[in-house]
Amino acid sequence: CHRLLPKMEGAWEIAFVLFQVWLSIVVGLIVLPAMFGVSLGFTDIYIKVLVKTLEWATLRIQRGQKEQPTLPSQSANGIIEKDDGSMEEEIGELRRSHPKNLAGGDFTMCDAFYFCKKGIENIVEDQVTQRFTSEELASWNLLTRTNNNFRYISVRLTIIWGLGVFIRYCILLPLRITLAVIGLSWLVIGTTLVGLLPSSNAKNWLSDLVHITCYRICARGLSATIRYHNKENRPKKGGICVANHTSPIDIVILANDGCYAMVGQVHGGLMGVIQRSMVRSCPHVWFERSEMKDRHAVAKRLKDHIADKTKLPILIFPEGTCINNTSVMMFKKGSFEIGGTIYPVAIKYDPQFGDAFWNSAKNNMVSYLLRMMTSWAIVCNMWYLPPMTRQDGEDAVQFANRVKSAIAHQGGLVDLSWDGGLKREKVKESFKEEQQKMYSSMIVGLDCHEASEGPV
C-alpha cells in the first residue's frame, strides 16, 4: 500500500509535466503569434492538405457513382422548373384559349389552374423553408454530419474518413477547446484590468488590443481562414456596420479585423460575465429584455452612441436571425432609421470545410460550438462594401432593401424579401390579401366598385 502512493504521485507528476509542455507549445506556437497577428503558416498547410484530400475523395466518390445511380446535387436553380411570369401574364395565357364573355365580370374556371400549379410547385420546393436548414453539399466532405446520400464507396475512403474522425476529435478538438478557454479568459481578465484605468487614449488603445487579440485566439480556435476584401472600406467610428447573419461566429470573423461595439440582449451565465467585463473597457450596447420591446428607447440609445465620434462603430445583423448563408433575407428597418453612415459587409462561408450555420431549432449553443470545433475548418470570404447613406426620397425600408441587394450581390447570395422571422412565426395575412387584391383587379378591373353592368 505504501509503495502504491509514490507511484501514483509519480504518475500525477508526469501528467502535470506533460500538461505544462502541452500548454507552453500551444501558447508559444499559437497564442502568441495570434496575438501579434503573425501566422506561422500551420493553418495554411493544413488547409492545403485538406483541399487535396477532399479533391481526392470527390474523385473517388464520382468514380463510385458512375457504377451506381445516385442523387444528383441540387443545383442553384432548384429541382423543378418554375415559370417566372406574373399572375397577370400566367392567367392571361390560360384565358387565351377560353371564349371570353365580358358581361358581369372577367372570371373563368381555369383561373384556378394558376393558383393550383403555384401551390404544388411550392409544396415540392419553396424559397423560404430551405433557408433554415444547412446547405446541401455538391460532394461529400468526409464529415458524417453532412452524409445525406453518400454510401459506402471503398475501403480507402472509409479509412480516410476514420482517420479524419480521429484527427478531428482527438487532436483538433482538445487543441481548439484549449484555445477557446485561453481566448475567453484573456478577454474577461484583460478587459477587467483595462477597465480599471481612467478614460484616456491609452485606455482605448489597450481595450482595442485586448479585444482583437482575444478574437484572434478564438479564430485560431476554429481553424478559421478568413480572406478580407476591400479593406479600404472598413467601418469608421460613428458608423453602423451591417452584415448578413449565419452564426454567432460572424462576430469572431468580423472582430478579427477591426473593433466594434456589439449590440445585443443581456444574458445570464457565462455570456453575462463576458458581456459585463467587455463593457468595462469600452462601451458596448447591451439591452435588457424589457428595453428591447420599446423601439424608441432602442433607437435613442443607438443614436446617442453613433453621435459620439469617439465610440466604436456599432455592429448589427438586421436579419435578426441566423440564415443558412445561401441567401439574404429581409433586413429589419430599425437600424436604417437611425441615420448615420451604413458600412455593409458581406460574409460568405465555404461549406466544404465546415458548415457554419447555426440551426437553433436543432442545436443549442454548446452542441453548436462542439460541431464547429470538430469541423475541418472555417473558411470564409469577407467583403467590405462602400459606405451607404439614406438618399432623399428614400424611406427606411427602401434603404434597407438597397443595402441588402448590395450585400447579396457581392456575396453571391439570393436576395429574398421574406422575413427571417418566418423560421418560427406564421406569415402575415396581409400577404394573402395582397394576392387576393391582385386577382380581384383582374376580374373586375382596377376599380373594384359596383359593376356598371347588372346581372344578365
Partner 1 sequence: MGLQGWRNVLALKTSKNNNRAAWQRAFPVPLSHSQITRLYSRFHSLDKGENGALSREDFQRIPELAINPLGDRIINAFFPEGEDQANFRGFMRTLAHFRPVEDNEKNKDLTSGEPLNSRTNKLLFAFRLYDLDRDDKISRDELLQVLRMMVGVNISDEQLGSIADRTIQEADTNGDMCISFSEFIKVLEKVDVEQKMSIRFLH
Nearest to 413 by CA among 352, 349, 358, 356: 349
What would the grid cell of residue 176 be? 481548439
Min CB(12)–partner 1 separation in Å: 48
Query: β-strands 285-287, 261-265: how paired?
Result: parallel
- Please identify, using beta-carbon distances, which residue of 94 and 209 lies nearer to partner 1: 94
Binding mask 127-156 for partner 1 (x = CB under 8 A): xxx---x--------------xx-x-----
Strand stretches in 355-407, DSSP E: 378-384
Q: Does 51 bind partner 1 (CB under 8 A)?
A: no
Burial 133-151 (b: 16+ CB within 10 A, else e): ebbebebbbbbeebeeebe
Rule CB under 8 A: choose which of 115, 161, 186, 287 binds partner 1.
115
What value, to the nearest 5°, has the Cα angle with vertex 79 and ends 74 and 82?
Answer: 140
Collect contacts of 361-369 with beta carbons under 8 A, ≥24 apart.
Answer: 361/132, 361/423, 365/248, 368/247, 368/248, 369/180
Q: Quick one: which of 30, 35, 50, 114 contacts partner 1 (CB under 8 A)?
A: 114
Nearer to partner 1, 92 or 272 (CB): 92
89 binds partner 1 (CB under 8 A): no
Q: Does 117 bind partner 1 (CB under 8 A)?
A: yes
Q: Which of 23, 29, 112, 365 binds partner 1 (CB under 8 A)?
A: 112
107 binds partner 1 (CB under 8 A): yes
Is residue 121 involved in binding partner 1 (CB under 8 A)?
A: yes
Cβ closest to partner 1, residue 8 vs residue 76 = 76
Sign of torsion, CA 26 30 32 35?
negative
Q: Of residues 411-430, which lie at the interface with partner 1 (CB under 8 A)?
A: 418, 422, 426-427
- For partner 1, the closer of residues 148 and 389 by Cβ is 148
User: Between β-strands 261-265 and 327-328, what pairing exists: parallel, antiparallel or unpaired?
Assistant: unpaired
Contact with partner 1 (CB under 8 A) among 41, 119, 268, 269: 119
In the block, cell 461549406 appears at 351
Q: Who contacts 179 (Cβ-Cβ below 8 Å, separation ≥6)?
A: 26, 30, 31, 217, 218, 220, 221
C-alpha cell at 454: 347588372
Q: Which of 71, 163, 292, 414 binds partner 1 (CB under 8 A)?
A: 71
Residue ranges that bind partner 1, judged by CB under 8 A: 68-72, 75, 77-81, 93-94, 97-99, 101, 103-105, 107-129, 133, 148-149, 151, 418, 422, 426-427, 431-437, 439-441, 443-444, 448, 450-451, 454-456
